[in-house]
Structure 1
């Protein structure tokens, strides 16, 4: 049985949505409002963020990477948008029971839709699911750059406070990613932690690392305004790498040893050797950035010189409840992090703002 939201008027037949027709060919169109199937939910989108992955898909994976042999991983004729929040409009009893939600609840959904049957899913490692779907990248799971969207029957869904501004609530997705990277680092009380980059991911890393109460959290960036934001998120020290020698400063702070943990959230190739050089012997490097080109490093630093622990981090598994609590707590300067909110009609401006890298922190579209 499908539950219908009580509204003065029935659902419209059509809606506005951004459609990907190929690299750099996104169009705002009017399409049919989707209808939920068994175990699914129809959600009215309140806000959707734009991130580096959206930009990568907009330019086309091969073009973005400078490698025409690299296959595209975003399908065409799909609605983009994978970090979002919305209100449930319709769902059946199966969906309501599985997720513990009802019509009218404000909800987010994790960006990956696992199969729940592969080796990784059966071992609880759902974020590495082999045949997974991703909102906004696959036709089976259209994203949130639209007025309405469907939450898949296999999705992971979480409630969010209705008291939050919508663009703040949508930040649960990038923040969960940041917190997963922090979890991967295994931070202890005595650690000196360095975070490279003070964009949305880096700021979340700063906040997450600070919540672990290490000896010191140090943030690196080129932009003074983003370094100021990092201090508001919990950084004990900020270093403008355009003006200061980060490696020397950190070695001076650590009796010449170097940092214990380095979290990379810029996606800039130069941040990789920077991290390897900043770390002490037996230190931990965690990579989260999305790179636009191949990165070459001296692997002897990782092995013979320092015996480093080098870890990757992907998505935000098991970190969504913590991310939501952190946003709801008011501990983060969300009004400053969520710097730009635009109507759906201005999606191109939103993509351009993200591409510039210096005019915004987090850009959100409000359908």
Structure 2
């Protein structure tokens, strides 16, 4: 298998541990205490979807958690040549303080897809780009609920196809960063002004450094933070895996480097394939991501495709650390190691009280249908 073929196989299976207790507690060095609970209930109408998906669209609107799309290998494992299946079902469940979900299918996406960006707004969920079984897309649409019935509105399309990117909202400006732009790994950034959508998408200054497929991104304090991502070898350029991060100021339109994610021992962590959300008004919560050394070797072709895909889940060493980044101090803090966070392609959705880790990969090609909930126990 050539390096290009291996990259295609890896990207096809990567986007986002066994639960050992129903409620785990941990206190980090900064004094923040959290609880982590397994949620009960998952849509059961589609046996293939019930196996769990990765790279789905997910967010919160009108006190409902919504899951849409996603993909998995429901029949034959990818290591044995299985075919990836994409989904178009949209499910919603009311949110409450208990651990029971009551899912209901409310409609369908315009097309079965995954690997896009979801932005929660007061009007609904904005779903941006992604890819289908036939290739990458430029579609952008708004999902909203009217009496538990899905309503889909079309928004300005991207100026090109983009998938495997990250994104966040600052005020009325929706940003997407990195990913594959027209099939080419990129560090580009684009914005859409939701208060003036007639202008369409605008190109912004790109993230410094190498292209970033599957970075993580979150907004905090009116600024945009980005970490991680990877790019395959192409056009004489070696494969790269980024662990560093940058912050973007919409006011100055300038990127500035920020601290690299680290564990309690100070070792750098890759967040590529992970997820990030604002945590209160002072921090950013980051979960998951591939192991930087193992995945880079795979990108470099050191492992054959079959060899790389055939190990048990623990061999891949996905990031178990639940991390908090504090912009004011430019510092990282670990909330502890949790198997429930060791995911690639999981969705991470926050409602101001809880953060939900939704599905994702346990290893390349193998998904979980677990949903776990993180809560900060304030003193």
Same fold (TM > 0.5): no
TM-score by length of 1: 0.27
TM-score by length of 2: 0.26
Larger radius of gyration: 1
Would you tell me which structure has more strand in proportion to its own residues?
2
